[in-house]
Amino acid sequence: MNSHKDDILLELDTIKISINPRIGASITSLMIRNQMDKWAPVLRTMPPESGSASDAGSFVMLPWTNRIKDAQFNDQGDTHQLKSNCTDDSAIHGVGRDLPWTITDRSPISARLVLDSRKLDPDSINCPYQFGAIARYEIGIDRVEIELSVTNLDTRPIPAGCGHHPYFHRHLFSDADQLQVQMEVSGRYPAEGCIPTADPIDDEICNSLRKGNPIGNPGLDDVFSGFTGIATLDWPQSNVSMRMQCSENLGHIVIYTPTTDSGDPDEFVCIEPVSMVNDGFNRFDAGHHETGVVMLEPNQSMRTRMTLSFSTCD
C-alpha cells in the first residue's frame, strides 16, 4: 500500500483506506482482504511521488462537478469567467480537489476534514464564490462510508453541486475478472465534448446498465439521468460484489471507460455519483431545472452520503 507521509490511514482486518488532506481530501488507496488472506486494491493506488488529485484513487468534486463549458457560466445575470484546466478549454471537476483540507478529528476508523475557501489565497481558488466543505470518512468491517457536504459562505445565493470521482479496478484478485456494473438509470445525455446538447434519451447503453452486463469497452464519458442511488459492481472471478448506495441528491451518474493508446480497455473504470449534470450551471441558468444544481442561500448546506459495501457474489 504505497502512501504519502501525510496520508491518514484508517484500517481494520479486512479493509483499509488512506486519505490525503493536502491533496484535496482525496482517497489515495482503498484495499480489501479476502478469505485467502490476500489484499487487493479496489481503487487506483495513487503514486507516492504524485501531488495531483488527478492521480488519486478517488477525489471529491465541488462546488460543481465535471465540466463547465469554455470555463464560463452565467448566474442570475452575471457572467463568470474561470481558468480553464482541461485541454478542451473547460473548467473541470470543481476546485475542492485542488486545495488543502484541514483534519478536525479522527479515530482509527474515521476522519473528518474541512475546507474553508475564505482562509485560502483567493488566487489559488478557481471559483467566484466563497464556500466551505466537510468530508467525513469511516470504515466498517465490510464498508466505507463517506459524507460530503458543501456550504455557501458567501453573502448571496450561489449555485452548487458535488460528487465523487472514483477509479475502480477492472480486476481484483483474479486477472480473469470481467467487471459487471448494474444500476437503474433513465437516460443518457446527448453530448458534444462531454457537454450535454439535449435532454437525456433512454438507449441501449442504459438498458445494458439496467441488466448488469459486463461493462466491456463502450468508450463512455457520459452523464446519465435518473440514477436511483444504488449501483452494484461485481468481480465474479474474484467472488467480490460491491454495492454503492448514495443519498437521493446524488441523482446523476457519470461513467468513464478510458482506453489505452492501443484501444484496449484501461484497467480503471470511473463510476461517478454526482448531484448535477455536466455544465449544469449554464443549463440551470437557461431554465433547465432538472440539472440537479442546487441554489444555496448564505450559510445553507447541501449534504450527501455514499456507502461502498463489500460482500461475496450471489
Sign of CA dihedral 118, 119, 122, 125: negative
Is pLDDT of 247 > 70? yes
Retrieve residue 236's grid coordinates. 465474479
Beta strand 294-296 pairing with 180-183: unpaired
Q: Which fold has domain 8-311?
A: Beta-galactosidase; Chain A, domain 5 (2.70.98)
Is pLDDT of 1 > 80? no
Residues 35-69: pLDDT tens digits? 899 999 999 999 999 999 999 999 999 999 999 99
When pLDDT is averaged across residues 9-25 and rounded to a whole number, the result is 97
Angle at 153 between CA 157 and CA 306, to 5 degrees: 90
Domain locations in the chain as residue ranges: 8-311
Residues 6+ apart with CB under 8 A from 24: 53, 56, 59, 60, 96, 97, 98, 99, 100, 101
Q: Phi, psi at residue 156, to the nearest 5°?
A: -135, 160
Instruction: Match 468534486 to its residue by C-alpha cell.
Output: 61
**Separation CA 78–CA 68 (nearest Å):** 15
Is pLDDT of 230 > 90? yes
Residues 6+ apart with CB under 8 A from 146: 135, 136, 137, 164, 305, 306, 307, 308
When pLDDT is averaged across residues 257-279 and rounded to a whole number, the result is 94
Smallest CA-to-CA distance from 269 within 44, 118, 6 is with: 44
Please state whether the peptide bond connecting residue 41 to the residue before it is cis, i.e. omega within 30 degrees of 0: no
For residue 236, give the 3-state DSSP assignment.
helix
Distances (CA, A) of 52 to 58, 62, 104, 250, 297: 11, 16, 22, 25, 32
Residues 273-293: pLDDT tens digits? 999 999 999 999 999 889 999
Residues 74-122: pLDDT tens digits? 998 899 999 999 999 999 999 999 999 999 999 999 999 999 999 999 8
As a dihedral over the C-alpha atoms of residue 120, residue 122, residue 126, residue 127, rounded to 10 degrees, the angle is 90
Which secondary-structure segment (H or E) carries 204?
helix 204-211
Distances (CA, A) of 82 to 68, 69, 73, 74, 119: 9, 10, 8, 11, 20
Is pLDDT of 314 > 90? no
